[in-house]
């Protein structure tokens, strides 16, 4: 999704801005642009379709001087990806330059009104409408830029994080947010700006997250001032962030996705640290301790999420229902928010989101909150909008996830859901002590077992080469591994652009079996658990129709090895923890197939890391 970077201070702004844009590349984008005010108070705007590297080429031999600037990566919503639609957008006079994340929903009405007053537009974007509106209000009422901005934003319906330069005020950047994140980094006599903290961390760990309807006035040599849309002074809270630069680099891996797949054993340890005790006898989540009554007395849980996080939610349902005996519904946040759901104060919503910025999930949380439900967040990004909108929650603590295809966040989410189910079941007395201890002890062994699976990377890479020809894939699993099949299929389609469908294995005979032929490989999760015999029958059904089977089997399995075309052996574990292990070979399979096909693994086409628009 779009990215924002800004700088004001003593350094040359250009290198800071370009580096920041590169750090935001993981969000996905189609064009990039930059605006700088030089020492002669000229405002230079450069933009181009394509990557940040294209922008760098474009500015060669151009004036990129100045200690103040804003920069943007755009992910098209209104108007095709093109140079003209890229940000920053100028006002007609050329005095103002604006960058914007989000969507101005009433842009068409505002544009028509401005056109009637004679304002001409160059682009098809909602952003240009906003910058022209600010200027129109400013000129017609002879106002200063801040007041004009406040009046303009009061007319706007929609979501925005914006940064505005005015060449008549070369020592000021104005920023504002509503429903789209914006972070101001505070350094020594300098400020940094980011749509998340990623472009800021290498300069400072002191940040202010702007709240909705707040405007930040960033002036050289002064303290950050924050006001609301009525010019009432606000008191911003300066926070210290813990992210470090090493977490943002590829660390020797060719892609962030591969690095993140390999980080999973450490991530799961980080996620459990301080929560699962050393002796493996207890699970403690502070949110469960603080809100025990609310959670234990829930009429039901409703899990709301999108994409991969929704798949983790499907596993959470099985864990919570099985151990806590509380009914659980899992819904796509995008559907929930537009229904008229039956929900009230007796319900507990679990909102799952890696980024904590997914617009649909955030809106669904808001709706559930308005209906009186208690909201438990499971997020990765600390201080993100969803994390802040919830009553309580547990961070997954897996570190920044840069690859657009989510990997370590999924296993982190499943780990938190497992700990949540165990902690609640213990409190509720719905789990036998021996079973509880067995699962907790096994949970502690998961990172080591993940490493065993990762050691098969080379073999999986070789296997992947055979399957690059396929145009379709089927992923099958049952029980806890059914959501894993969905997740495996999503990974493959996201990064290799091969059509893939995930199904509960037993459902195959109700339709998808018609697709099976020699050209249709099926990935079957066939570990030795309660469903083992049934899944063997499903494999037989595929083989009888000449389908190719890649089976994920438990170590030492000879029976499936005899019928499947290829097998990936994985270490045995307790059935409810299997998703933490079975997911990894599927991530690697998708990764290597995409690499073989020469695809852009970390920034697949059309996808954005955090989907901050609906
Ligand atoms: C996962 O690989 C995806 N890119 C996507 O489905 C993602 O999980 C979804 O957009 C939800 O994101 P969130 O977890 O940040 O809310």
Question: What pLDDT digit, counting tens, does each position of 535-554 carry?
Answer: 999 999 999 999 999 999 99
* Residue 306 CA, closest ligand 1 atom number: 11
Does ligand 1 have an atom closer than 6 angstroms to the CB of 404? yes
Residue 25: cis peptide before it, omega within 30 degrees of 0: no
Quick one: pLDDT at residue 188?
Answer: 94
For ligand 1, pick from 337, 387, 611, 614 the residue to mutate: most ligand atoms within 8 Å of CB: 611
C-alpha distances (whole Å) from 51 to each of 6, 111, 118, 472 are 18, 29, 34, 30
For ligand 1, pick from 196, 260, 308 the residue to mutate: most ligand atoms within 8 Å of CB: 308
Residues 6 or more apart whose Cβ sits within 8 Å of residue 102: 2, 158, 159, 160, 161, 178, 179, 180, 612, 613
pLDDT one-digit tens code per residue, 381-440? 877 889 999 999 999 988 889 899 999 999 999 999 999 999 999 999 999 999 999 999
Calculate how far, in angstroms, residue 144's C-alpha sits from the geometric centre of ligand 1. 41
Q: Is the pLDDT of residue 339 over 70?
A: yes
Quick one: pLDDT at residue 102?
Answer: 85
Quick one: pLDDT at residue 281?
Answer: 84
Q: Are strands 347-353 and 374-379 parallel, antiparallel or unpaired?
A: parallel
Q: Answer yes or no: pTM beyond 0.85.
A: no
Q: Name the pLDDT band for 97 (thresholds 50, 70, 90).
A: very high
> Residue range 336-348: average pLDDT?
94
| Residues 596, 614: Cα–Cα separation, whole Å | 33
Give the SS3 label for residue 187. Answer: coil
The token duo for 160 is 């925005």
Return the residue whose CA atom lies nearest to atom 4 of ligand 1: 405
* Residue 358 CA, closest ligand 1 atom number: 16
Q: Between 408-428 and 578-596, two packed helices, what is the crossing angle to 10 degrees? A: 170
* Residue 413 CA, closest ligand 1 atom number: 14
Quick one: pLDDT at residue 158?
Answer: 82
Does ligand 1 have an atom closer than 6 angstroms to the CB of 196? no
Return the residue whose CA atom lies nearest to atom 6 of ligand 1: 307
Cα 588 vs. chain centroid, distance in angstroms?
20
Does ligand 1 have an atom closer than 6 angstroms to the CB of 384? no
Return the residue whose CA atom lies nearest to atom 10 of ligand 1: 307
Q: Name the pLDDT band for 288 (thresholds 50, 70, 90).
A: very high
Residues 6 or more apart whose Cβ sits within 8 Å of residue 556: 569
> Residue range 271-296: average pLDDT?
89
> Residue range 79-83: average pLDDT?
85
**Burial group, residue 39, by CB count within 10 angstroms (0-12, 13-18, 19+):** exposed
Please state the φ and ψ torsions of residue 308, each to the nearest 5 degrees: -55, -40
Calculate how far, in angstroms, residue 404's C-alpha sits from the geometric centre of ligand 1. 8
For ligand 1, pick from 309, 405, 490 the residue to mutate: most ligand atoms within 8 Å of CB: 309
Calculate how far, in angstroms, residue 235's C-alpha sits from the geometric centre of ligand 1. 33
Return the residue whose CA atom lies nearest to atom 16 of ligand 1: 353
The token duo for 596 is 């073989």
Quick one: pLDDT at residue 1?
Answer: 66
Task: Find the helix or strand (DSSP H, E) in which 130 lies.
Answer: helix 126-141
Cα 99 vs. chain centroid, distance in angstroms?
21
Q: Are strands 233-234 and 214-219 parallel, antiparallel or unpaired?
A: unpaired
What is the pLDDT of the chain when averaged over all its residues?
93
Does ligand 1 have an atom closer than 6 angstroms to the CB of 309? yes
Q: Is the pLDDT of residue 279 over 80?
A: no
Does ligand 1 have an atom closer than 6 angstroms to the CB of 611? yes
> Residue range 353-377: average pLDDT?
96
> Residue range 550-564: average pLDDT?
95
Does ligand 1 have an atom closer than 6 angstroms to the CB of 314? no
- Catalytic residue annotation: 2, 609
* Residue 404 CA, closest ligand 1 atom number: 4
């Amino acid at each position: 999704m779009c990215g924002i970077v800004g700088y004001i201070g003593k350094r040359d702004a250009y290198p800071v801005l370009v580096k920041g844009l590169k750090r935001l590349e993981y969000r996905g984008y189609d064009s990039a642009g930059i605006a700088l005010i030089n020492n002669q108070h000229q405002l230079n705007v450069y933009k181009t379709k394509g990557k940040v590297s294209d922008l760098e080429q474009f500015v060669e031999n151009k004036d990129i001087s100045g200690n103040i600037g804003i920069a943007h990566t755009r992910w098209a919503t209104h108007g095709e990806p093109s140079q003209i639609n890229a940000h920053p957008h100028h006002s007609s006079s050329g005095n103002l330059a604006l960058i914007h994340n989000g969507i101005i929903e009433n842009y068409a009405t505002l544009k028509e009104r401005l056109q009637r007053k004679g304002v001409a537009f160059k682009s098809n974007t909602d952003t240009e409408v906003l910058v022209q509106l600010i200027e129109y209000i400013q000129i017609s009422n002879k106002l200063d830029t801040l007041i004009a901005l406040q009046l303009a934003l009061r007319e706007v319906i929609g979501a925005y994080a914006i940064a505005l330069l005015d060449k008549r005020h070369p020592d000021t950047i104005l920023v504002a947010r509503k429903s789209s994140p914006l972070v101001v980094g505070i350094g020594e006599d300098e400020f940094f700006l980011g749509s998340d903290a990623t472009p800021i961390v290498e300069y400072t760990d002191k940040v202010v997250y702007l709240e909705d309807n707040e405007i930040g006035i960033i002036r050289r040599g002064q303290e950050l001032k924050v006001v609301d849309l009525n010019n009432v002074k606000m008191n911003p809270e300066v926070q210290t962030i813990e992210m470090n630069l090493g977490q943002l680099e590829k660390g020797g891996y060719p892609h962030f996705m591969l690095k993140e797949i390999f980080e999973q054993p450490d991530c799961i340890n980080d996620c459990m640290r301080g929560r699962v005790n050393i002796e493996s006898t207890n699970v403690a989540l502070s949110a469960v301790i603080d809100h025990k009554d609310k959670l234990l007395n829930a009429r039901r849980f409703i899990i709301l999420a999108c994409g991969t996080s929704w798949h983790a939610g499907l596993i959470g349902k099985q864990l919570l229902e099985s151990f806590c005996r509380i009914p659980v519904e899992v819904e796509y946040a995008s559907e929930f928010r537009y229904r008229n759901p039956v929900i009230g104060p007796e319900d507990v919503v679990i909102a799952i989101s890696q980024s904590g910025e997914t617009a649909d999930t955030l809106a669904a949380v808001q709706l559930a909150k308005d209906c009186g439900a208690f909201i438990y967040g499971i997020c990765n990004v600390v201080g993100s909008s969803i994390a802040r909108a919830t009553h309580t929650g547990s961070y997954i603590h897996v570190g920044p996830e840069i690859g657009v295809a989510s990997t370590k966040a999924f296993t982190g989410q499943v780990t938190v859901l497992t700990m949540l189910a165990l902690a609640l079941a213990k409190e509720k007395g719905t789990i036998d002590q021996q079973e509880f201890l067995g699962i907790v002890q096994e949970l502690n062994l998961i990172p080591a077992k993940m490493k065993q699976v990762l050691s098969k990377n080379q073999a999986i890479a070789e296997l992947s080469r055979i399957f690059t020809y396929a145009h379709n894939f089927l992923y099958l699993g049952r029980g806890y591994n059914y959501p894993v099949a969905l997740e495996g299929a999503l990974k493959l389609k996201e990064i290799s652009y091969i059509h893939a469908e995930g199904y509960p294995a037993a459902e195959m005979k109700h339709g998808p079996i018609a697709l099976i032929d020699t050209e249709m490989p099926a990935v079957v999760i066939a570990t030795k658990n309660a469903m083992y015999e049934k899944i063997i029958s499903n494999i037989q059904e595929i083989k009888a129709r000449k389908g190719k089977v890649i089976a994920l089997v438990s170590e030492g399995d000879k029976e499936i090895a005899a019928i499947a075309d290829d097998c990936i052996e994985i270490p045995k574990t307790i059935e409810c923890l299997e998703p933490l292990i079975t997911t990894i070979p599927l991530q690697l399979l998708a990764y290597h197939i995409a690499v073989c096909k020469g695809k852009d693994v970390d920034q697949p086409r059309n996808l954005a890391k955090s989907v901050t628009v609906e």
